Structure 1
Amino acid sequence: MRFHSVQDTAFSDIPLKEVDVVIFCSGFESRCTHVPENTFDKLNPDASILILGFDDHNQLSSRKKSDQFYNGKYKTSQSLLSGDEYDGIFPLLNEKLKIKKKKNVSVLLDYTSMTRQWYAAILSWCKFQQQFEEVTLFTTYSVGKYIKKSEPMVIHEITSLPGFSGSTLARESSTLIFGLGFEGAASLCAIERLEPSVVYTFIANPAAYPEAYKRSIEVNEPIISHLAQANLEFSLFSVEDTFRGLSELLIAQPNNANITVVPMGPKPHILATLLLGLRYPQLTCIRVSGRGKKGENVKAEGRIVTTKIIFQ
């Protein structure tokens, strides 16, 4: 099976009565319940429900509220995982889908509060599972209201995402495609550690709100002005356009270059880079992890970025 296509769609256009599997997450941000609240009474009553939960920090008040919501709404227990888990996602999906006796399956994934390892694993499962002839994946992301400025990130580790390690062949040059967010100093440090021959950056515009775009430009000004060959802008609200724009950039790179992508911006941009990794197996997707406290309790502001992804 292969990743076939990606298309922006409206949340209201998801055929909720036809969805076979629903994947939610009980996280530390209150927005993790926004999509479930808007779908609970509309879902296919026969849909299998998979609720992922973090196995740490479960005493935070925001996490307790999320757990109470899911425990009250859905008659299924959470599957607790480390935020770094990848392989453990596959048996959970296989268990939920083994009773589905059909050729095509439809999945709703709300990745609003998930780690990139989790939704990277779900994408990999969609590509490599052998039970169904076609998988239609509807992904949702609740845009958040950020009030505080996050604390500076201290880099703990720079590694390739499992399943997205790309080519290991030594080549003459290296191209780095870097997604910028609010981690200006940490992003600069990551670029310096990777030592690429050429750097391209991309940033969210339109962003969740105008101040977010201005802030991203401001904190990343040294990178954009002095390191980047070019800085591209893609809408936060279009995974499709981001994927297409990055594909064009990747295809334009010389054949003798190792190509690496590091998404440190918003999650819809991260999703687009993971799809890029599925389409171009030579691409390496890098994860930059940091140490620090959990971020603020981000609330949903109403808008939902919805994407339809087909595997066949």
Structure 2
Amino acid sequence: MNKNLIINDISLSSVLSRKYDYGFFFSGYEERCLHLSTLLNTGTIKEKIIIQQPIKSDRDTTENFDELSETIGEHELLSFKDFKSLHFALAVAKTLKSLSNKASILIDYTSMPRQVYCDIINVVRTIKKPEQEISLTFFYAHGRHESSYKPAIIGDIYCLRGCEASISSFDRTIAVVGLGFDDGAPLRILESVEPNEVFCLYAYPAAIDGYEKVAIDKNESIITFSATSERKIIPSPLSSIADTYSTLYELVSPYLSNTNITLLPFGPKPHVLASILLSMSHKRVSCMYADSLRSTPSSVPATGEVTCTLITLK
């Protein structure tokens, strides 16, 4: 485990009672991207940043952006069409250039693309001075997805920036697949990586009773042909990033000295965040993703349940 990275699960009341130097929000098409802003006294945040991605889809994001802007008040806007570009990370670095020694940052990653919150963490790690202790508070609103989940069109495969493993001469590879509601992207990456062994991680308890069965059913081909025994199908709660990080670490730790390790987190965002943190903590662990596009993105309203996490970088 990394002694400079401390992960604690915290309550919603703790999130709402803290004061922040910076607050990052994401305006997207999901209804739940507004959930935190309706609960929070935004006067507790010194500098507020809204991140936006202009997209072409049948679902307009303007209404959510206008409502979020009005609710949180004066803010800086970071608008990018492609977060894979280094320009976004540089913009975050510019925003955070004056971190205090005890800076506190709020990140509502409910609807954020994973490269966005990955970049925020990586920028903080990069610019942090040895004497600084930075607190990152992550908020995630659980969501209710449509029962008919249409397959996505799969695009580019890539390593998340900041989650690239160091080059090795190992000839053996394991993959840990986070199970979501579409097996297209992980299957494509597995074909590219060609791992010797595959493990699967799914959310249980999940956001809604029965979602764990949906995830397992949707990924039947991966489970049947790659993760071929029950011990390789591992549950981890949606509500605890600390537990999921520990589960992942216990899973990969026997392989760290002699195996290439690839994480493919396609499950819920708390599991993605745990995977990103593990990859950033261990040079043998990479974290990969594939672009995906749905012609009609779903709205995803909040259920009212949340996952809140305090990450301290020393």
Could you say whether these structures have the same fold, taking a TM-score greater than 0.5 normalized by the shorter chain as the test? yes
Which residues of 2 match residues 215-294 of structure 1 at below 5 A? Answer: 215-228=214-227, 230-253=232-255, 255-294=257-296
Tell me, yes or no, if the aligned pair for 1:86 and 1:117 is still in contact at 8 Å.
no
Tell me, yes or no, if the aligned pair for 1:21 and 1:96 is still in contact at 8 Å.
no
Q: 1:197 is matched with which residue?
A: 196
Superposed CA deviations along residues 172-230 of structure 1, whole A, max 9, x for unmatched, are 21111111111134433432332111111111111111221111111222322331151
1:150 aligns with 2:149: yes
Which residues of 2 match residues 96-245 of structure 1 at below 5 A? Answer: 96-98=95-97, 102-130=100-128, 133-228=132-227, 230-245=232-247
Tell me how far 1:290 sits from its aligned partner: 2.0
Distance 1:83 1:302, change over 3 A: farther
Secondary structure of 2:128's counterpart equals coil
Separation of aligned partners in 2, 1:56 and 1:182: 22
Tell me how far 1:236 sits from its aligned partner: 1.0
1:23 aligns with 2:21: no
Separation of aligned partners in 1, 2:174 and 2:97: 41
Separation of aligned partners in 2, 1:70 and 1:201: 36
Secondary structure of 1:88's counterpart equals helix
Superposed CA deviations along residues 149-183 of structure 1, whole A, max 9, x for unmatched, are 22112321221111211022231211111111111
* One-letter amino acid of the structure 2 residue matched with residue 111 of structure 1: Y
Q: 1:36 is matched with which residue?
A: 37
Secondary structure of 1:51's counterpart equals strand
Tell me how far 1:98 sits from its aligned partner: 4.2
Percent of aligned positions that are identical:
27
Tell me how far 1:77 sits from its aligned partner: 4.5
Separation of aligned partners in 2, 1:65 and 1:44: 25
Secondary structure of 2:210's counterpart equals helix
Separation of aligned partners in 1, 2:161 and 2:212: 30
Separation of aligned partners in 2, 1:44 and 1:58: 34
Separation of aligned partners in 2, 1:87 and 1:194: 24
Task: Give the TM-score, by structure 1 length.
Answer: 0.91
Tell me how far 1:294 sits from its aligned partner: 4.4
Superposed CA deviations along residues 115-162 of structure 1, whole A, max 9, x for unmatched, are 011011011012111357011000011111112422112321221111
Please say which of residues 179-188 and 259-268 is displaced more in the overlay: 179-188
Tell me how far 1:3 sits from its aligned partner: 4.5
Distance 1:116 1:311, change over 3 A: same
Separation of aligned partners in 2, 1:3 and 1:234: 24
The unaligned stretches of length 5 or more in structure 1 are none
Q: 1:75 is matched with which residue?
A: 74
The unaligned stretches of length 5 or more in structure 2 are none
Separation of aligned partners in 2, 1:7 and 1:212: 25
Tell me, yes or no, if the aligned pair for 2:202 and 2:236 is still in contact at 8 Å.
yes
Task: Give the TM-score, by structure 2 length.
Answer: 0.90
Tell me how far 1:295 sits from its aligned partner: 1.7
Distance 1:2 1:311, change over 3 A: farther
Separation of aligned partners in 2, 1:117 and 1:254: 24
Distance 1:254 1:9, change over 3 A: closer
Secondary structure of 2:75's counterpart equals coil
Separation of aligned partners in 2, 1:236 and 1:6: 15
Secondary structure of 2:211's counterpart equals helix
Separation of aligned partners in 2, 1:190 and 1:300: 30
